[in-house]
Structure 1
């Protein structure tokens, strides 16, 4: 699953989805959907919540992935 598929599954417009994850810019959400930019840590976590964990924040943001990697080493 990717961000676009999640948005379509939820039946949300780009603007509605952006608002649900805390973005004010539909254009920024479009860039995230198309893989042109990574969402911030906060937005990645909100997307994970919307997907009920099916789209992990670590798959969307390298910083989250790095934190999870280090947590696993402890």
Structure 2
């Protein structure tokens, strides 16, 4: 089963950077992952978040309010 990764954010620069970092980490890891961007307020509110960007892995919030490094995402995937 593929890992589910969601990037929550309104489409700001930090959110776009986070999406690119996650994409790069998934490519490096070789893990099967489905990456989804959630930019609508209603979709984000389901997670009770206060700051973006947010990285959600398999429905668990892992990183919130900052852009992660590729290494951080690799550790989450392994």
TM-score (norm. length: structure 1):
0.27
Structure with the largest fraction of strand: 2
TM-score (norm. length: structure 2):
0.26
- Answer with 1 or 2: which has the greater Rg: 1
Structure with the largest fraction of helix: 1
Q: Which has the higher contact order (CA 8 A, sep 6+)?
A: 2
